Amino acid sequence: MTINVDPPAPRTAMRIPLFLAAGLLSIAALVGRAAAQDAERIKVVATVPTYAALARELGGSAVDVIVLTRPGQDLHGVAATPSVMARVRDAALVLHTGLDAENWLEPMLRGSGNGQLMGDPLRFIALSDGVPLKEVPSQVSRRFGDVHAFGNTHIWTDPFIVRGMAKRVRDALVAALPHQADAIDARYTALHDRLTHALVRWLTDYAELRGRKVVTYHQSWVYFLDRFGLERVGTIEPKPRVTPTASHLEQLMETMQTRGATVVLREPYQHPDATDFVSQRTGATVLELSTHPGFPEGNGVDGVVEHFEFNLAAIATALGLPVSTPPEDTAPESAAPGDGEPLRQAEGTGSR
């Protein structure tokens, strides 16, 4: 039996229309460019939202910022869980306070396998370096509560100190991303100028804050209060991180009435019972504010300038004082950074 098989039809070359080929080349170029940009992006880990805000404002799209605490979270309550350690495993930079503020950080990095980073001061940046600390204890003992051995570590509450921190973050980012140096420098200059002009305006417009009496829950506002001349007459806690007793609150309320303190500052993670009790008995206004950007959530206070603007306005309002209105252009060309007697006075007493 003979089977006749027809010869296969000749193959014809597939022709790609010119416009389609050009489109494919464009897509390939975009993919390549995106891959190159991703290769230049670095992961920056920040222990608190203030440091994260600085990294975002200065690094722009070149950084992927991981913040280990929320604006309303207690910094001392961070746990080095496996999920958190996974987030810091490939960090290129870590921004932290240093001293004994984040005792959980070094075990976390070692557990993540990224412990070698801690030996490089250009990658493991302690933002307390060079900042004169307040409330340095003469001795450290549990009898005095949970005190910090080196002094009060809540340095991010002073915008003058934060301006100095921005330079440290700029230097670290430029070292890690040398090809992005010009863009990082431009963002740093813009932020430095915004903070400088805001400081001049705040110290002028909020001059009436000086001498006003307040109570804080914890000793976390000392740098902010000193910068703007507010006076703390007492704390809800009898000692750092010690639950208040009835006798302590009675004594505190007597002091408030004698000294004329009418505002109590409470952070979101602090229990409201004691502050509400004091408010009911004295008529004082309780302000729930965070010492970091991002609170209240969704209020446009994610940047450091906006954060201080919000807190100052809230405190002034609670004290019955006028609120400063930020100009549309916060860095006018007619005023060079450092102009103004208020800022010169601040530079004489500030940390940098």
Biggest distance spanned by C-alpha atoms of the chain: 121
pLDDT at residue 350 tops 70: no
Q: How many helices (H) and strands (E) does the chain have?
A: 11, 8
Q: What is the pLDDT of residues 178-203, one digit of tens each?
A: 999 999 999 999 999 999 999 999 99
Report the pLDDT value the prediction gives residue 150, as an integer from 0 to 100. Answer: 72
| H-helix or E-strand spanning residue 213 | strand 213-216
pLDDT at residue 34 tops 60: no
Provide the sign of the torsion angle of the four alpha carbons 335, 346, 284, 152, taken in this order: positive
- Flag whether the pTM goes above 0.75: yes
DSSP 137: -
- Domain over 40-180+208-323 is classified CATH 3.40.50.1980: yes
Q: What is the pLDDT of residues 88-143, one digit of tens each?
A: 999 999 999 998 889 899 999 999 999 999 999 999 999 999 999 998 776 555 55
Report the pLDDT value the prediction gives residue 147, as an integer from 0 to 100. Answer: 54
Q: What residues contact 262, with CB distance under 8 A and at least 6 apart?
A: 213, 214, 256, 283, 284, 285, 318, 319
Report the pLDDT value the prediction gives residue 183, as an integer from 0 to 100. Answer: 98
pLDDT at residue 327 tops 90: no
pLDDT mean across residues, the chain:
85
**What is the side-by-side order of every strand in the sheet holding 285-288?**
231-235, 213-216, 263-266, 285-288
Q: What residues contact 212, with CB distance under 8 A and at least 6 apart?
A: 229, 230, 231, 263, 319, 321
pLDDT at residue 18 tops 60: no
Q: How confident is the model at residue 169 (pLDDT cuts 50, 70, 90)?
A: very high
The CA distance from 274 to 288, in Å, is: 13
